[in-house]
Amino acid sequence: MRGCPRPIVCAGMSCQQAANDFTERDILPPHPGPYLQNIPIGKFPANPLSPPSVVLGLDPRTHSQALCPHHATAKGNLMSRIFITGSTDGLGLAAARTLMRQGHGVVLHARSRERASALAEISPTALGLVIGDLASAAETRSIAEQVNAIGRMDAVIHNAGIYLERSRGETPDGHAKTLAVNVLAPYLLTAWITRPDRLIYLSSGMHRSGGSTLDDIDWKRRPWNASQAYSESKLYIATLAAAIARHWPDVLSNAVDPGWVPTKMGGAGAPDDLEMGHLTQTWLAASDAEAAKVRGGYWYHRQRREAAEEVTDTGFQDALVEKLAELTGARLFAGRG
């Protein structure tokens, strides 16, 4: 957590107090960071953000007031900034709603402007909304740039994923779509987004069916098998989380199995608990409980579980990270080991 750079304005005031007491001199020098929701001077929403307390700043470029990106509780304590990929529906949206109710500043993500319309109810009270298709490396870079423009995140939840694709597909970069969205995109975002304190990657119990060979992870030679491709992608993402925990000891990196939950991906008949399906990642992203401040774990419903042996195999970790660097052209770690 960071100290508030605006003690004169912030000072734990509520939104309306800040609005009532606001004068231009309060915001000089110009408030750092982006201005996410411009509001004409004198036009204050009755409750612009709830429940977190925020303050109003003046955008020196447009001379319009805007919601301050530094969230605070009523006691004046800063809450976490958390970016969630794939937050237009399912577990991502549920996680976003939960964290926002807790007072955290959430940056939402939608694949397109059309998909962003699904967030119309909550986006006005979010810290930000970024748009881009994770199947494209160029758009993934744009997502990272949009997030970095908002400011350093305290946590990133890599929630976005696709399930049973009918065919290998062909992304703009020539990769299998399942691999691109489920593995390459979170790898690239990890490399390009300013390093947060916590990283959470969504895996699946199906990762145990993933193969340990990395010879053809992009499905260029093998006959397409949607279920196997998904299982492998979830093995790779759990392994990536463990590798990051080993290479970056200052980052709390963990993988989560949300269970087979009744989302659009899981289907209406899925037997697991939707509520518990997203509460583990929100807990790992924001909780101050000592049990949540760990790294290198594989979690299911707030309980650590044993992952497939490949996940904790340092040789497999290094081989996977090297393969991902070859496929993307981006190197996550300075060296192997």
pLDDT digits (tens, 9 = 90+) for 5-23: 332 223 333 333 333 333 3
Give the pLDDT confidence score for residue 143 in this predicted structure: 98
Residues 66, 98, single domain; the answer is no
| Residues labelled as active-site residues | 230, 234
Domain boundary residue among 36, 52, 76? 76
Q: How many domains does the chain have?
A: 2
Domain-embedded: residue 336: no
Q: What pLDDT is stored for residue 337 in this prediction?
A: 41
29, 142, 149, 211, 220 from 166: Cα distances, Å: 55, 28, 36, 20, 15
Contact in structure between 270 and 263 (CB atoms under 8 Å)? yes
Which SS3 state, helix, strand or coil, does residue 179 take? helix
Residues 224 and 260 in one domain: yes
* Encoded tokens for 313: 């195999």
Contact 298, 205 (CB under 8 A): no
Residue 72: the pLDDT is: 39
C-alpha–C-alpha distance, residues 334 and 337, integer Å = 10
**Residue linked to tokens 């970095």:** 148
pLDDT at 268: 54
Whether residue 112 sits in one domain with residue 12: no
Mean pLDDT of the chain: 80
Residue 33: Cβ-neighbour burial (10 angstroms; 0-12, 13-18, 19+)? middle
Instruction: Identify whether 335 is part of a domain.
Output: no
- pLDDT of residue 113 exceeding 70, the answer is yes
Distance CA 202, CA 181 (A): 12
Please tell me whether residue 199 adopts helix, strand or coil conformation.
strand
Exposure of 31 in the CB half-sphere (CA atoms within 13 A): 30
Q: What number is the average pLDDT over the span 143-154? A: 98
Asked whether residue 56 carries a pLDDT value surpassing 50, the answer given is no
**From CA 53, how far away is CA 15, in angstroms rounded?**
6
Query: Does residue 256 contact residue 276 with C-beta atoms inside 8 Å?
Result: no
Distance CA 311, CA 34 (A): 38
Q: How far apart are CA 159 and CA 280, in angstroms?
A: 12
d(CA 156, CA 285) in angstroms, rounded, equals 7
Range of 59-63, 133-137, 210-214, 266-270 with top mean pLDDT: 133-137
Indicate whether 109 and 42 sit together in one domain: no
- Residue 211 pLDDT: 86
Q: What is the rounded average pLDDT of the residues 281-300?
A: 97
Q: Are 183 and 299 within one domain?
A: yes
Q: Please check whether residues 207 and 287 belong to one and the same domain.
A: yes
Its domain, for residue 275, covers 81-328
Let me know if residue 128 belongs to a domain. yes
Backbone angles phi, psi at 191, to 5 degrees: -75, -35
Q: Are 289 and 198 contacting, i.e. CB atoms less than 8 angstroms apart?
A: no
pLDDT interval class at 259 (50, 70, 90): confident
Claim to verify: residue 158 and residue 38 sit in the same structural domain: no
The region of weakest confidence among 136-145, 151-160, 253-262 is: 253-262
Do residue 91 and residue 16 come from a single domain?
no
Whether residue 337 lies inside any domain: the answer is: no
Could you read off the pLDDT of 209-247 as tens digits, one per residue? 998 899 999 999 999 999 999 999 999 999 999 999 999
Structural domain contains residue 188: yes
CA dihedral 118, 72, 47, 109 (to 10 degrees): -10
Same domain, 247 and 114: yes
Q: Which residues pair with 294 in a beta bridge?
A: none
The reply to whether 13 and 142 lie within a common domain is: no
Residue 257 burial by Cβ neighbours in a 10 Å radius (0-12, 13-18, 19+) = buried
234 and 308 part of one domain:
yes
DSSP 302: T
334 within some domain = no
Helix (H), strand (E) at residue 333:
none
The total of other beta-carbon atoms located within 10 Å of residue 21's CB is 13
On whether residue 333 sits in a domain, the answer given is no
Confidence bin at 43 (pLDDT 50/70/90) = very low
> Residue 10 has what pLDDT?
32
As a dihedral over the C-alpha atoms of residue 21, residue 25, residue 30, residue 33, rounded to 10 degrees, the angle is -10
Cα gap 19→330, rounded to integer Å? 45
Q: Look up the pTM and report it.
A: 0.77
Q: Answer with the one of 28, 60, 76 that is the final residue of a domain.
A: 76
> Do 284 and 223 fall within a single domain?
yes
In angstroms, the CA 8 to CA 69 distance is 15
Out of 76, 104, 133, a domain closes at 76
For residues 101-127, average pLDDT = 96
What pLDDT was estimated at residue 335? 59
Gap between the Cα atoms of 259 and 256, Å rounded: 9
